[in-house]
Structure 1
Amino acid sequence: MSDFFSVGWSIWITTIALGGVAFCLYVLFSQLKGQAKKGEAISDTGHIWDGITEYDTPLPRWWVSMYLILSAIALGYWVLYPGLGSFEGLLKTNAAKEVKANQEKIEAMVQPIFQKYADMPITDIAKDEEARAIGQRLFLNNCAQCHGSDAQGSPSFPNLTDKTWLWGGEPEQILQTITNGRRGIMTAHQNLMTPAQASEIAQYVRSLNNLAHDQTRVAPGKKLFDQFCVACHGADAKGNQLLGAPDLTDGVWLYGSSEETIVYGIMNGRDNQMPAQKNLLSPEQIRLLAGWVWGLSNVEQ
């Protein structure tokens, strides 16, 4: 509640909170004013319905006391805890700090478990039963949302169980990918070519994978491919892992292999990013995770 970006919002919230209590107290005391005191006759309001007279009966003391006590509790709470804009309260409590402290406490408890794998080669981690179990749990908690619980991915999220890698599948390359993340960008060509030309390239690329294609359009497509695509995907269309440019001959498609999908990618480009995990996981956890991922395609499960 105290994490405001401007003083104005802090003042606004404080005004609403204190003003609400002040208004309630005003309403209470305005109703107490003029009421009959103990021993005095209770007057009526002059309103009579169907023979029933409405009297100006004083508010019950227990109700007034409860109202005042609750107002005092509200004010006391705001003095002790965050609630009045940017004022942190006398106890300086902060839910975010408490959560972080609990996380650090838990991490300190489990750190010895991770520490014994800190210097173990990733290839050995992939073969260690206990390490694989920990790595799988880390994957399910942090990576399955995108890559799936079976690590076989989905459109725009790579399959991690095969030997096809956009940025390299060596243990240290996987470690680097998890630690710092990756961002793969394919330039949009809508200002460089027509959809018909993109379709020609799609026919050529599909022919490289023995997919259905128009043979008469393959040669024109290759000419256009050599003009626009070889810089990233290479003359042999086998990609470049330094750029994250995929191999276009291996039959693995991140977004799909239909002509329509390929043409869309050429014309509009692609921008795909994997977030870095270095601020979420410890180096030891990342190492265990890298070992499990590498083992999916290199160690018999």
Structure 2
Amino acid sequence: MSDFVNNFWSNYIAAGTVLSILGCMLLLWLTARKRVPSDADNTTGHVWDEDLREANNPLPMWWIGLFVLTIFFAVGYLVVFPGLGSFSGQANWSTRSEYEEDVAKATKALAPVYASYASMPMEDIAREPKAMAIGERLFMNNCSQCHGSDARGSKGFPNLTDKDWLHGGAPEKIVETITKGRVGVMPPMAVAVGSQDDVKNLANYVLSLSGAPHDSVRAGLGKSKFTVCAACHGIGGVGNQAVGAPNLSDKIWLHGYGEAAIMQMVNAGKHNEMPAQEGRLTEAQIKLLASYVWGFSNPATGP
């Protein structure tokens, strides 16, 4: 990966570009200097297929002119636009600046549309078909890659259509999640639990909390081991939205179901992250997007 965080490849391409232009200039100069002796009939003496002879005519001036213009164009382009390593060019143009300019124009053009929803409660926005059409586009462009086009998520990516929220499902909490992002960390707990047999007992106790199939004997033995988990997940495993600890007493499993999956979680821990959208989306866009997401788990008023 170090090749992609230093200037080697940038300088390599810049050097190749300069050498290519110099090579073209050298080739043109050598071609202009070389004089091929010709016979009396102005041929080079080379014959193909018994009667095809190569004439010794100079290159057309229009062709040479285009060749020279191409070289000058290449040099001029590299002076004006970025193309030589870290040199930004006299025009100081970049794809990033063009993108940011386009985003600024679009934001300005759409400002009146978003302004009409600025003072509306998010629950009311979720009832507005036009607002939800905008929210759907925002969701498809920014959220569906992880949560799915139907917002039902997948392993490791929360389902947004149920009422199982790690950090709370109120509109304001959804805005907070989208704006600042979330980092979920469960440390490896195997050492605190004990042996692998203890971990297995604990896994069965966790399964018993939701009424899932489990070994009742092992679950009884694992109950005392749950004290190391209760600090985050609470007594009875009901979860804690203040720290994003999931509810273990329902039948919703974000990272996999069953004894083996729970043991893996206890042994290895888990680090999950949702990137912050602050800076990518405006405050008004986040409000409409949050209203759209809130509507998934509140279908009576949602999209």
TM-score by length of 2: 0.87
One-letter amino acid of the structure 2 residue matched with residue 183 of structure 1 = V
Q: Tell me what 2:30 maps to.
A: 30
Q: Tell me what 2:178 maps to.
A: 178
Residue 260 of structure 2 corresponds to residue 260 of structure 1 = yes
Residue 204 of structure 2 corresponds to residue 203 of structure 1 = yes
User: What is the correspondence of 1:1-301 to structure 2 with a 5 Å cutoff?
Assistant: 12-35=12-35, 44=44, 57=56, 59-62=58-61, 63-192=63-192, 193-226=194-227, 228-300=228-300
Shift of 1:49: 8.2
Shift of 1:57: 2.9
One-letter amino acid of the structure 2 residue matched with residue 242 of structure 1 = A
Change (3 A) 1:127 1:10: closer
SS at match of 2:297: helix
Shift of 1:66: 3.0
One-letter amino acid of the structure 1 residue matched with residue 56 of structure 2 = T
Change (3 A) 1:34 1:147: closer
Q: Which moved more, 1:119-128 or 1:156-165?
A: 119-128
Contact 2:80–2:89 (Cα < 8 Å) also in 1:
yes
Change (3 A) 1:110 1:72: same
SS at match of 1:206: helix
SS at match of 1:213: coil
Give the CA RMSD over aligned residues.
Answer: 2.8
- Determine what percentage of the aligned residue pairs are the same residue: 40
- Residues in 1 aligned to 2:36 and 2:172: alpha-carbon distance in whole angstroms: 85
Shift of 1:211: 1.4
Change (3 A) 1:38 1:239: same
Shift of 1:151: 1.0
Q: Which runs of 5+ in 2 are unaligned?
A: none
Contact 1:32–1:58 (Cα < 8 Å) also in 2:
no
Shift of 1:42: 5.2
Q: Which runs of 5+ in 1 are unaligned?
A: none
Deviations 1:218-274 (A, max 9, x none): 111111112x21111112210111110011001111112211111111111111111
TM-score by length of 1: 0.87
- Residues in 2 aligned to 1:75 and 1:243: alpha-carbon distance in whole angstroms: 58
Shift of 1:158: 0.9
- Residues in 2 aligned to 1:298 and 1:70: alpha-carbon distance in whole angstroms: 63
- Residues in 2 aligned to 1:200 and 1:5: alpha-carbon distance in whole angstroms: 47
Q: How many residues align?
A: 296
